[in-house]
Amino acid sequence: MKLSQEQMARFDQEGFLFFPDWFSSDEANLLLEEAALVYGLDRKEVVRETSGVARTAFAAHTYNEAFSRLGCHPRLIDPVVQILDEAVYMHQYKVNAKAAFDGEVWQWHQDFGTWHRDDEMPEPRAMNIAVFLDDVTPANGPLLFIPRSHKRGTLPAGHDIQTTSYPLWTLDRDVVSELACAGGIEAPVGKAGGVVMFNSNLVHASPPNISPFGRTIVYLSLCAVSNHIRRYHRAEYIAHRDFTPIEPLADDCLMQLVAERQLSKAS
C-alpha cells in the first residue's frame, strides 16, 4: 500500500493521517480477543493501573502470534517505509488499554522526546501507527493531537514518575496551551479497524476513560534502521535492540491465522 502525494503532503503539514476502516471488523475482532488473552497473562511486560486493570502490554508481538503478524503487516509497514524512505525496525510495541471506568490519563507528550532522552535515538526518523481494536469515541478516552505541533521540534519536558502508573517525559501546561491556541486539538474517532499514523514529535495525549466502554489500541513505533537507539538503559521489552529490518507479510496474514486455527480445530 502506498500513500498518495496529497497524503504525504498532509502528513508533513499536519503531523498525522487517519484511515477509517483500514482493517476489517473480523481482523479487529481477532486482535481484540487476543488482547484480552494478553492482558490476562502474568508477565512483566503487562503494566497495570493502580486499580489493577491492564494499562499496556509491551512487546506483545514477541509472545502472541496475532500481534506478531500485525507487526509485519504491509498496510502498516509500507507507508512508514515510504515516509521515512528507509527500511524500519520495531523500536517499541504496545497494546494499550483504556479500561471502562478505570482507564487513566496519558499526559501531553512527544514520543521522540522519550526515545531521545531515555534511549538515545539520534533523530526523529521514527513514527507511530495506532490501530483501533475497539470503537474509539469522544467518550472513551480518544487520542488527542495538536496539529502541526511537530513543526516545533523536540520541546523541553519534565520526567513525570508520579501522575500515573507509567513514567513519561511530559510537557508543561504553558507550552501545551500555546500550541493548542495555535493549532487547536483534534481527536480522531471511529470504528474498530481504523488506523492513525503520526509523527514522533507530534504533541498528543489521551484523557481518562470514565465511560462504560473500553478502548484498546495497538501502537507500533517504527524507526529507520540507521536511526537505531544507542543507549540500552530501559528494559529490552520496552526499547527493542533487534534492528533487523521488518519484512512485510502477506496482506491477508491475519485472516490466514483464523483459517489455520479453524483447520487445526477441525483436525
Label residue 266 by pLDDT band (50, 70, 90).
confident
pLDDT > 90: what percent of the chain?
Answer: 84
- Reported as a pLDDT band with limits 50, 70 and 90, residue 160 is low
Sign of CA dihedral 110, 45, 221, 76: negative
Summarised one tens digit per residue, pLDDT across range 28-37 is 999 999 999 9
Q: All 3 cell numbers of residue 209?
A: 476513560
- Which residue, chain included where needed, has cell 490476562? 40
| Per-residue model confidence (pLDDT) at position 162 | 54
Q: What DSSP line would sit under 110-172, residue for residue?
A: -HHHHHHHHH---SS-EEEEEEESS-B-TTS---EE-TTGGGG-SPP-EEE-SSSSS-EEE--
pLDDT tens-digit map of 219-233: 999 999 999 999 999
136, pLDDT greater than 90? yes
pTM score of the predicted model: 0.94
Instruction: Judge contact between 79 and 2, C-beta under 8 A.
Output: yes
Cβ within 8 Å of residue 223, ≥6 positions away: 88, 89, 90, 91, 115, 121, 125, 126, 229
Tell me the CATH number of domain 5-266, given options 3.40.630.10, 2.40.50.100, 2.60.120.620, 3.40.50.10470: 2.60.120.620
pLDDT greater than 80 at residue 199? yes
26: left (phi over 0), alpha (psi -120 to 50) or beta: alpha
| Lowest mean per-residue pLDDT among 28-42, 151-165, 236-250 | 151-165
Is residue 159 scored above 80 in pLDDT?
no
Higher pLDDT, 11 or 169: 11
What mean pLDDT, rounded, does the chain reach? 94
What integer pLDDT is reported at residue 235 of this predicted model? 96
